[in-house]
Structure 1
């Protein structure tokens, strides 16, 4: 009976090692931030440079994505879209995923082009004006442990930008942790078998 349970534990540990569940290291849905035009203060350390962004959403005069709390209009109210950026310390050799929601401007204002960067990885997204909030991801594996930037910028400047929400960064744990777990389970099996033989 013990061997059957132990074998099940080893199989589960092996499955965990292969799936390597991600761990969230950063998360912001902007709900803790105050809605305002030309936002400059953010609870989770964002900065805005070379232009402006707005914080729209529930309870504000601008709420084009009802039911999504607060979110960022990537083209503020100064006719110049700002660069919204943040930074995080990452460990060399780990796989990281930046996940974020983008939506079109919802105001019949044409398409928006959004440049997104995570470390040294860059992607561009073209959001049609009626596009619903959709989740996108970017993967990055740093070769050096350091502080890396992640950023979002709407091209142009017409005071009607794409919307950003639900930004998270997750890390996949190193396989070494699972290898150590399997080694420990194997050692337990050896001790148990030896004890049974002595009996």
Structure 2
């Protein structure tokens, strides 16, 4: 029992070490074509909110975004985030294929001044990717997803989150403290 409590405390401490700044699984948005999800902006085209009951291309994942909406112009989906100078952040997100026998999709992701490009094959399921960015100054920074399609069959996006990455010294201190607590619990058990 005490070992389970130690493991639970370690899991809780490690999960809280990545303090979430932003999360969205798109489940709170209405299904439909040419929808702008709450908390996001869409420019240069459109995106669709799809899922159970409406083009559920990867069942079992709730609602998610088709990055190449229904207007033959893929939209740039972006959100602004207030970040703190000198802090490193990790943006994690799931990308999946269009599942409609289309071409592979090329998705450009930008997070602050960091850019990454992903090629997603049509039949691929959701895969988690991440991008790191360190804010130079305190202020608003943009996280955006830009599908290079234009054929109304875009890559699929779900489970977007941004979290602050703890400094290595802080993480080491946290793990050391948890190890000490575990050691003390073992000694008391004897």
* TM-score between both structures, scaled by the size of structure 1: 0.76
* RMSD of aligned Cα (Å): 2.5
**Does the CA contact (< 8 Å) of 1:103 and 1:132 recur in 2?**
yes
1:31 correspondence with 2:24: no
SS at match of 1:85: strand
Q: 1:25-174 maps to which residues of 2 (within 5 A)?
A: 25-40=21-36, 42-43=37-38, 45-60=39-54, 62-174=55-167
Give me the whole-angstrom Cα distance separating, in 2, the residues matched to 1:34 and 1:98.
24
Give me the whole-angstrom Cα distance separating, in 2, the residues matched to 1:130 and 1:170.
29
**Does the CA contact (< 8 Å) of 1:20 and 1:175 recur in 2?**
no
Per-residue deviation at 1:58?
Answer: 1.2
Deviating runs (4+, > 3 A) in structure 1? 173-181
**How many aligned positions are there?**
164
**Does the CA contact (< 8 Å) of 2:17 and 2:171 recur in 1?**
no
Q: Which has the larger radius of gyration?
A: 1
**Does the CA contact (< 8 Å) of 1:115 and 1:155 recur in 2?**
yes
Per-residue deviation at 1:164?
Answer: 0.2
Give me the whole-angstrom Cα distance separating, in 2, the residues matched to 1:73 and 1:104.
10
Per-residue deviation at 1:173?
Answer: 3.6
SS at match of 1:114: strand
Give me the whole-angstrom Cα distance separating, in 2, the residues matched to 1:106 and 1:180.
46
- Assess, with a 3 A threshold, how the Cα gap between structure 1 residues 178 and 168 changes in structure 2: closer, same or farther: closer
Per-residue deviation at 1:177?
Answer: 6.4
Give me the whole-angstrom Cα distance separating, in 1, the residues matched to 2:166 and 2:104.
38
**What are structure 1's unaligned runs of at least 5 residues?**
1-11, 182-199
- Assess, with a 3 A threshold, how the Cα gap between structure 1 residues 158 and 179 changes in structure 2: closer, same or farther: closer
Query: What's the CA shift string for 1:76-128, capped at 9, x where partnerless?
Result: 00110010000100001111000000001011111010000000000000000
* TM-score between both structures, scaled by the size of structure 2: 0.79
